[in-house]
Amino acid sequence: AQKVTQAQTEISVVEKEDVTLDCVYETRDTTYYLFWYKQPPSGELVFLIRRNSFDEQNEISGRYSWNFQKSTSSFNFTITASQVVDSAVYFCALSDSGNTGKLIFGQGTTLQVKP
Amino acid sequence: EPEVTQTPSHQVTQMGQEVILRCVPISNHLYFYWYRQILGQKVEFLVSFYNNEISEKSEIFDDQFSVERPDGSNFTLKIRSTKLEDSAMYFCASSDWASGANVLTFGAGSRLTVL
């Protein structure tokens, strides 16, 4: 069965600190996709990134970066120089190679960035 | 930027009542979904819909739930006889083929409170 674990329930940092959100997944599929979504206090779910299982290159987008390691089944998310606007719940999710759009979400990590 | 629109933003209902949650997906998207998030918990898949039929549903999506695309723009979730445990945020999402059916754009959610 597919499973996503985000062991960090809450993280609190001071603005400008770097912070890494951990995500560990389980799947028997050889082809799968990993995602990160952001849920700000307003409640919507904002897509951040999708990565397929064959692409282990790390990705950087501005202050955001993602580290995908198949050997440890992890897909960690780092925010560099955090800002108050980064305060949100962050969800890691997993889907199989099919196109059903069924995402398995982790429990989420609440990030609080203090000024 | 195109968005998924959900109404109502918040609905309060009595146990046993029928509820219809409405969604307007992004116009050129072909895949539609409902997810739910019980307060403070992770986001859970309910159902995916493609080509006017359900393509996959979860165990949560029992006979009390139904989905419909009554016209070319709306996508609805009906709960026939609400229970207390149906209280949650319900997210509609849509995706297209070009970017990958599992790259979902979520709406802002409809909060359902069952009393």
**What does the pLDDT look like over A56-95, one tens digit per residue?**
888 888 999 999 999 999 999 999 999 999 999 999 999 9
pLDDT tens for A13-46 read: 999 999 999 999 999 988 899 999 999 988 889 9
Inform me whether the pLDDT recorded for B44 exceeds 90. Answer: yes
**Does A42 lie at the interface with B, CB-CB under 8 angstroms?**
yes
Both tokens assigned to B11: 């609905």
**Does B6 lie at the interface with A, CB-CB under 8 angstroms?**
no
| Contact residues, chain A, for B53 at CB < 8 Å | none
Report CB contact under 8 Å: A101, B104: yes
Nearest to A99 among B45, B102, B109 (CB): B102
| Contact residues, chain B, for A102 at CB < 8 Å | 45, 48, 56, 58, 102
Report CB contact under 8 Å: B106, A44: yes
Q: Do the Cβ atoms of A4 and A94 come closer than 8 Å?
A: yes
**What integer is the mean pLDDT of B37-50?**
92
* Number of alpha helices (DSSP H) and beta strands (DSSP E) in chain B: 0, 11
pLDDT tens for B70-79 read: 887 899 999 9
Both tokens assigned to B35: 């997810």
pLDDT (0 to 100) of residue B40: 84
Q: Do the Cβ atoms of B108 and A44 come closer than 8 Å?
A: yes
The residue among A101, A4, A104, A63 whose CA lies nearest residue B94 is A101
pLDDT (0 to 100) of residue B101: 63
pLDDT (0 to 100) of residue A36: 96
Q: What is the distance in angstroms between the Cα of A96 and the nearest Cα belonging to chain B?
A: 9
In B, minimum Cα distance to A49 occurs at B103
